A and B are shown apart, each in its own frame.
Chain A
Amino acid sequence: MHIDWSTLLDVTVVSAAAALTVVLLVSYAFVGLSPGSARRTGDPERATPAATRAGIATAVLCLLATALIVGYGVYLIVG
């Protein structure tokens, strides 16, 4: 009896990679959206405008990358 280990392995590896990437990107996006200095000192009152702008830019990039991955996943199913 033949067992299709390669398909099972494919599902495992691809799923793990996709879940890990999406979760990390979204997590870093929320870190970026947190007030700048809170990420280092835990004190949101000490946020600087530059740090806030950099954080928002990071968050936007992370969320865009997430949207691309999710969109590609749906595209694979439709295709």
Chain B
Amino acid sequence: MDVSVIVVVVVLTALIFDFTNGFHDTANAMATSIATGALRPRTAVAIAGVLNLIGAFLSVQVAKTISGGLVDESLINPVVIFAGLVGAILWNLLTWLLGLPSSSSHALFGGLIGATWVAGGSAAIHFSTVLNKVILPAVLSPVVAALIATAVTYLAIRVTTRADARTVARGFKLAQTVSASMVALAHGTNDAQKTMGVITLTLITAGLVVPGSAPPFWVVASAGLSIALGTYMGGWRIIRTLGSRIADIHPTQGFTAETTSTAVILTSTHLGLPLSTTQVCTGSIFGAAAGRRLAAVNWGVAGGIALAWTVTLPSAAVVGAAASWLASTGTAGVVVVAVGGAALAAGIYAASRHNAVTADNVTDVPPQPAVGTAV
């Protein structure tokens, strides 16, 4: 297949991934604000979309890490990146269908690692970078976020105990609109860059950009627009999980969770650490819920989410590896991967229509039996 054709295919596939990343991660910024009523669902996703777009233009540190660190650029080609992206998109769609806030970043890294392993062997993967920039942050970031959120939520509740309850509730609701907006901005600075990094890596492997370059402006703009549009679509299933199924979130907790998430994401972005914003935000929400009352947390939901986190990277790697193997057989293989991937995506979308979650019913949670009540 002509190099310029496959580069165009990879860029389009990367932008589709970015779109799925957007609607998969809308919940990170807006789930608690929607749950507490601080923002109306449609208003929340519109604000998140605009701020993700702005955030995409603010930094390129993470993009540089991805385009120049995880895999050996000299041993892969655009077809390998295409296969990795297919693995990441399919995993994102599957977890969205299940309402699980899994990491889009780990789906992307897993897909790329699996596809690269098949194409260039284990030597093409920089395991030290994978450990430092992916595995360790994946394990530590949700724990760190949860611990910080637990502590600050406890302190916020203690400090405001003697204050006027109505002033505090109104104030934190108002503050939530700011903190949620900051998470959306932070998300744009971190996640939009991952797609920028992948497109830049493609341009490097095709010889169109010098290794070590920052993403060209058109890459930044298209990635920003794509993630903003995806965010505006709203991943309502995951918003319901994070906003309503973990615990009964109050404005104080929404604010502390969002503030913790913003602090962790912006700090890591500044230091070029491409951590999962989903894991940070989920950890913060669990921490904020536990900071008010440990028993109020729905630990069953936590178990499901932890399982999804554990299998995300290897699952996306397996799909990426299979797609890479198929695509390496030639043009026909690439077409089979593209058509097969599109068919699976369409099937997942059709399945989601059977039990649609929208802006109108996102805060409706099926009633659960109270503790001690006979069923």
Q: CB within 8 Å of B: which residues of A?
A: 1-4, 7-8, 10-12, 14-16, 18-20, 22-24, 26-31, 33-35, 38-40, 42, 44, 70, 73-74, 76-78
A1-B131, A23-B259 given; A31·B269 CB < 8 A: no
Task: Tell me whether chain B's interface is mostly helix, strand or loop, or mixed.
Answer: helix
B175 touches A26 (CB 8 A): yes
**Least CB distance, B8 to chain A, in whole angstroms:** 31
Whole-angstrom CA separation of A26 from B256 in the bound complex: 10
**Least CB distance, B173 to chain A, in whole angstroms:** 11
> Quick one: closest A residue to B147, CB to CB?
A16
Whole-angstrom CA separation of A77 from B273 in the bound complex: 13
Task: Tell me whether chain A's interface is mostly helix, strand or loop, or mixed.
Answer: helix
Q: Which residues from chain A contact B59 at a C-beta distance below 8 Å?
A: 77-78
Q: Which residues from chain B contact A2 at a C-beta distance below 8 Å?
A: 128, 132
Given contacts A1-B127, A74-B58, 7 further A-B contacts (CB under 8 A): A1-B131, A8-B137, A16-B151, A34-B167, A35-B164, A38-B164, A77-B59
Q: Which residues from chain A contact B145 at a C-beta distance below 8 Å?
A: 15
B148 touches A34 (CB 8 A): no
Whole-angstrom CA separation of A5 from B130 in the bound complex: 14
B268 part of interface (Cβ distance < 8 Å):
yes
Whole-angstrom CA separation of A22 from B172 in the bound complex: 12
A15 touches B267 (CB 8 A): yes
A34 touches B164 (CB 8 A): yes
> Quick one: closest A residue to B261, CB to CB?
A19
> Quick one: closest B residue to A67, CB to CB?
B178
* Contact residue among A15, A22, A38, A42 (Cβ-Cβ distance under 8 Å from B144): A15
B182 part of interface (Cβ distance < 8 Å):
yes
**Least CB distance, A2 to chain B, in whole angstroms:** 6
Whole-angstrom CA separation of A77 from B262 in the bound complex: 12
B175 touches A15 (CB 8 A): no
User: Among B27-35, B155-163, B355-363, which stretch is in contact with chain A?
Assistant: B155-163
**Least CB distance, B268 to chain A, in whole angstroms:** 5
Q: Which residues from chain A contact B132 at a C-beta distance below 8 Å?
A: 2-4
